[in-house]
Amino acid sequence: MAEFVPVSAFDLIIVGGTGDLAQRKLLPSLFRRDCDNQFTDDSRIVGASRTQMDDAAFVQMVCKALETYLSEEALDDAVWKRFAARLHYQVLDVPESAGWQSLQQRFGGSDARTRVFYLATIPSLFGETSRQISSHGLINGHTRIVLEKPVGRDRETAREINDAVGEHFDESQIYRIDHYLGKETVQNLSALRFANSLLEPLWNRTHIDHVQITVSEHIGTGNRTQYYNRSGALRDMVQNHLLQLLCLVAMEPPLSLYHDDVRNEKIKVLKALRPITPETVKRATARGQYAAGAINGEAVPGYIDELGDASDTETFVAVRADIDNWRWSDTPFYLRTGKRLPHKASEIVIQFSKISHSIFPESAGELEANRLIIRLQPNEGMMLTMATKEPGPGNFQLRSLPLNLSFNETYDVRYPDAYERLLMEVLRGNPALFMRRDEVDSAWAWIDQIIESWRDAKMGVQSYVAGTWGPSDSVVLLDRDDRAWFQSDL
């Protein structure tokens, strides 16, 4: 297990500190890091929101959240006493000055101390929150601000938010978070590509036929139905999670894994994405919306039933992405994501090209191309399929078998949650795992083009039954290229 390195003394202020994200992810992640002794004794965690409560009530709320979202084994009494002593609360209504003045009096001070503002709020408050932080003298040389996704709902609104925040914070102080970049298996992509001489020479258009990236969810929109109806799968998942995975798979080797080196290579990939136009959108994309069906034998309603109104919002999207550069020309990347699919999974499939000439008789069976499957969740791991001869004295028979690396079986450790890793990187001041402004801008430019092309081509959603793998157009998307979607059993 990698060594846990402590971080220097800090004040972490969670704006929206009583909300769902804080209770479900941020506070449990911080408690986990305290369990591994990564915080100094004088580090402080501050919850800030409009809810009227004092420090004691906030501590009680955090205790209940930890009991709800962590296992009983993870709750160490000694660590809890230490963690509870770090917790403070500030009543704060973002547009009002009174709470900010109290926050400045309680938690202002030394310019040598790391100060992080985590904005677990709606994006429309990002700009005003930044202004209040600045006007109350809470920005020092070690102040950082964390922005939760989504940063805008299109390129124009993203630019407005980034302009508003950038008026008060330097780009080096802004951390736009995408929790997928903190996942252990996503981090392993760098090791897989750049630490193995077996793979890197093959990582190009000559040896790879195509790449598939799937992020599937078995749940519906739940209590996010109204938000989701204004967003849809393309904005909600492709603009951030899937494009970030695409960049990590497709980018050139960076100079290092720190600071801007990785982000410089990712932006090159985004800028090389081929535009999807009204003339190509029906061949390059598929849109779907789930109807009533069943998940794991349990009947579930359709999206329209949950929303209670007619809607053309897509709950499923598949896209053929082409990267027009030297490494990936004519090698498509197929992206798909959706709600109410058979199960929850995130995986990347690297489909290698078939051998140029077979020496085996037809009776040996079909010679399948090698395939590398990288499972991000659940059951994190990797699997490489290899052609082998079936044992026995009979006819020569070929069979494709997997070389399987399961992280859970190989490493007898608990993997830190993505938020644990990302929070520590913010406190250390390493922005490599966060999106830079030009990344957000380039991603939205590509996504906006698809949305505009859907509108111009009058391309509506195609219904699919909940519990299936999306609409038939998604199958056709690959079928017309003589390819098919792959589901692994990793």
* Residue 348 Cα to chain centre, angstroms: 13
Torsion of CA 348, 353, 354, 355, to 10 degrees: -130
Contact criterion met (CB below 8 Å) for 298 and 466: no
H or E element in which residue 348 lies: strand 345-352
CA-CA distances (angstroms) from residue 30 to 2, 66, 74, 141, 434? 18, 10, 12, 23, 18
Q: Which amino acid is at 340?
A: R
Query: Residues 210, 241, 259, 343: which is the catalytic one?
Result: 241
Pairing relationship of beta strands 293-295 and 371-377 according to DSSP bridges: unpaired
Any bridge partners for residue 12, and if so which?
45, 116
Q: Using CA atoms, how far apart are residues 194 and 213, in angstroms rounded to an integer? A: 20
User: How far apart, in whole angstroms, are the C-alpha atoms of residue 245 and residue 266?
Assistant: 10
How many C-beta neighbours within 10 Å does residue 358 have?
12
Distance between CA atoms of residues 347 and 489, nearest Å: 11
CA separation for the pair 433, 257 (Å, rounded): 9
Give the CA distances from residue 381 to residues 246, 332, 432, in Å, rounded to whole numbers and listed in that order. Answer: 18, 24, 23
Q: How far is the C-alpha of 4 from the C-alpha of 38, rounded, in Å?
A: 7
Place of tokens 């009979």: 394
Radius of gyration, CA atoms only, the chain: 24
Degrees, nearest 5: CA angle 141-142-148: 120
What six digits make up the tokens of 453?
Answer: 């092309």
Q: CA–CA distance from 448 to each of 30, 215, 232, 462 (Å)? A: 36, 21, 13, 20
Active site residue 241: yes
- Residue 298 corresponds to which amino acid? E
User: Which amino acid is located at 385 in the chain?
Assistant: T
Q: Which residues are catalytic?
A: 241
